[in-house]
């Protein structure tokens, strides 16, 4: 290989430069601690902090740091260029090992907060759509086969509940992220009498890492973060897949805005659900980031190893793609409209009142398993004679359960209407309108609190 650049190979500036803001904020807090602990003179500390703030101000105006091995050295070198050799005192009582671990925790903490807000936004759109579609009946499926009718609102609220658990996982992950490694130095701590708790307070950490070896060498907090993102992405793939199915003319349950679809390059009649498909695809990258982090940390001896500089690209990529997916999914959902005539027509198919008829028999003291078999016979008869539950006569119903007195009465015909089936699902968490309204109210309160 000609002209192989080993510095470029081992360097990380190309990707860790996006940590520049948190790196500078961490350094400012570290210098403030050094001054408080009388390790650094107040005048030197003030000069260093002013220099760091000037770099931060330049960056916010669009200026880019010159390329170095990594972002930490780039900031330090620029600081010394601006204020002289005193800038080198900034690195007292720390190593790049605890510095980078701190930077990554600060970055992930910010990303957790941003992702949480996007999840909340998506949940609120789900609630709004559920409110709008409390009267829309659609088929519920198991094994992708027609099972029982449900309200479209009930279906949407299932995703809101999934996302609620996703937020809880993020909040729990944040507790373990929000612990300060800074002050652990390279691996063994430092001989300077520093105040790590003061630094933690300045940076908004809840506490400090209790073991210096662990502080610099583990990335379980990043792995957990990637897992949380993967779970959200997983839930988005389920939502996206249903958009793809529901848009298909064989279903035709929904319409979404054209901007979330594309035409075919050869078939002019088609509108392809591209955004939903890309959301599904991006989940693969997010899952891959989780697996990459697991593999990077796997079998690493204590303490810091250079392998760990490769932890950042997977974290960045997973966070970027998950946030983008949430934003697109939210906008796509906001444009979604159910085609009520099609969902209800579909819900009339597939003998979806079967469970209600079985329950009707159970209420007359017939064991459920026996009732189940009777309904199976009725369905077989309907299929053989091109009939459905609503077109059977009362005499036909009763021939499947011959007794001295007819067990089926005229009330069976009211029972098998879609509206009646929905109305009777009165158990908590069920699909009745009353239950759905309770779910919406409960979720609104949860979303406000968390």
pLDDT in tens, 415-437: 889 999 999 998 999 999 999 99
Radius of gyration of the chain (CA): 30
Catalytic residue among 14, 37, 58, 143: 143
Catalytic residue among 14, 264, 335, 390: 264
Confidence of residue 449 (pLDDT cuts 50, 70, 90): confident
Q: Is the residue at 450 inside a domain?
A: no
Other Cβ atoms within 10 Å of 197 Cβ, number: 14
CB 147 within 8 A of CB 141: yes
pLDDT attached to residue 350? 85
pLDDT at 2 over 70: no
Between the CA of residue 148 and those of 235, 373, 431, what are the distances in Å? 22, 18, 10
Domain C-terminal end among 320, 340, 360:
340
* Structural domain boundaries, residue 425: 346-432
pLDDT attached to residue 1? 53
- Show the CA angle centred on residue 72, arms to residues 70 and 76, nearest 5°: 120
Q: Is the residue at 445 inside a domain?
A: no
Domain check: are 87 and 125 in the same one?
Answer: no
Least confident segment among 133-137, 267-271, 322-326, 378-382: 267-271
CB 240 within 8 A of CB 277: yes
Helix, strand, coil content of the chain in percent (nearest 5): 65, 5, 30
Question: Is residue 423 helix, strand or coil?
Answer: helix
pLDDT digits (tens, 9 = 90+) for 141-153: 999 999 999 999 9
Q: Is the residue at 115 inside a domain?
A: yes
Q: DSSP secondary structure string, 126-172?
A: HHHHHHHTTT-EEEEEETTEEEEEEEHHHHHHHHHHHHHHHHHHHHH
What average pLDDT score do residues 340-357 get?
Answer: 93
Domain C-terminal end among 340, 373, 406:
340
Q: Is the residue at 198 inside a domain?
A: no
pLDDT digits (tens, 9 = 90+) for 89-102: 999 999 999 999 99
**Cβ neighbours of residue 399 closer than 8 Å, sequence gap 6 or more:** none
For CA atoms 95, 97, 98, 103, give the dihedral sign: positive
Q: Is the residue at 57 inside a domain?
A: yes
Domain check: are 370 and 409 in the same one?
Answer: yes
Residue among 53, 16, 60 at smallest CA distance from 32: 53
Between the CA of residue 63 and those of 20, 55, 57, 98, what are the distances in Å? 12, 9, 9, 27
Other Cβ atoms within 10 Å of 446 Cβ, number: 15
Q: For the chain, how long is the longest CA-to-CA vector?
A: 105
pLDDT digits (tens, 9 = 90+) for 233-245: 999 999 999 999 9
Confidence of residue 265 (pLDDT cuts 50, 70, 90): confident
What average pLDDT score do residues 255-271 get?
Answer: 86
pLDDT digits (tens, 9 = 90+) for 27-69: 999 999 999 999 999 999 999 999 999 999 999 999 999 999 9
What CATH number is associated with residue 282?
1.20.200.10
- Is 265 labeled as catalytic in the residue annotation? no
- Is 143 labeled as catalytic in the residue annotation? yes
Domain check: are 309 and 424 in the same one?
Answer: no
Strands 179-180 and 207-208 turn out to be parallel
Q: Is the residue at 288 inside a domain?
A: yes
Other Cβ atoms within 10 Å of 264 Cβ, number: 10
Strands 207-208 and 254-255 turn out to be unpaired
What average pLDDT score do residues 366-370 get?
Answer: 93
CB 108 within 8 A of CB 177: yes
């Amino acid at each position: 290989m000609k002209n192989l650049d080993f510095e470029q190979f081992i360097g990380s500036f190309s990707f860790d430069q996006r940590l520049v803001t948190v790196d500078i904020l961490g350094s400012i807090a570290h210098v403030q601690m050094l001054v408080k602990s009388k390790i650094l003179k107040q005048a030197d500390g003030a000069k260093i902090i002013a220099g760091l703030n000037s770099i931060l101000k330049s960056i916010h105006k669009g200026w880019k740091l010159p390329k170095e091995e990594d972002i930490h050295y780039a900031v330090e070198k620029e600081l010394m260029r601006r204020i002289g050799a005193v800038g080198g005192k900034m690195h007292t009582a720390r190593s790049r090992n605890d510095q980078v671990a701190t930077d990554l925790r600060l970055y992930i903490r910010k990303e957790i907060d941003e992702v949480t807000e996007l999840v909340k936004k998506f949940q609120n759109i789900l609630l709004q759509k559920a409110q709008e579609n409390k009267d829309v009946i659609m088929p519920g499926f198991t094994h992708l086969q027609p099972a029982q009718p449900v309200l479209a609102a009930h279906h949407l609220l299932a995703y809101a509940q999934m996302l609620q658990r996703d937020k809880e996982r993020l909040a729990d992950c944040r507790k373990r992220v929000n612990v300060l490694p800074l002050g652990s130095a390279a691996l063994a701590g430092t001989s300077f009498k520093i105040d790590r708790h003061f630094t933690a307070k300045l940076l908004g950490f809840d506490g400090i890492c209790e073991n210096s070896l662990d502080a610099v060498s583990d990335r379980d907090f990043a792995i957990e973060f990637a897992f949380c993102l993967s779970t959200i992405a997983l839930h988005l793939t389920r939502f996206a897949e249903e958009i793809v199915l529901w848009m298909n003319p064989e279903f035709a349950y929904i319409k979404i805005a054209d901007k979330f679809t594309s035409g075919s390059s050869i078939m002019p009649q088609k509108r392809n659900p591209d955004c939903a498909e890309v959301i599904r695809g991006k989940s693969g990258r997010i899952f891959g980031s989780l697996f990459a982090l697991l593999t990077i940390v796997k079998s690493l001896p204590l303490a810091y190893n250079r392998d760990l500089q490769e932890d950042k690209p997977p974290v960045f990529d997973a966070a970027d793609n998950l946030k983008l997916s949430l934003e697109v999914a939210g906008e796509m959902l906001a444009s979604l409209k159910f085609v009520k005539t099609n969902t209800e027509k579909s819900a009339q198919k597939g003998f979806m009142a079967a469970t209600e008829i079985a329950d009707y028999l159970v209420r007359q003291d017939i064991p459920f398993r026996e009732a189940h078999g009777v309904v199976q016979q009725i369905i077989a008869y309907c299929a053989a004679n091109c009939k459905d539950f609503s077109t059977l006569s009362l005499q036909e119903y009763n021939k499947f359960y011959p007794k001295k007195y007819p067990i089926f009465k005229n009330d069976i015909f009211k029972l098998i209407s879609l509206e009646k089936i929905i109305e009777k699902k009165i158990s908590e968490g069920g699909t009745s309108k009353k239950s759905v309204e309770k779910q919406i109210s409960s979720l609104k309160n949860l979303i406000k609190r968390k």
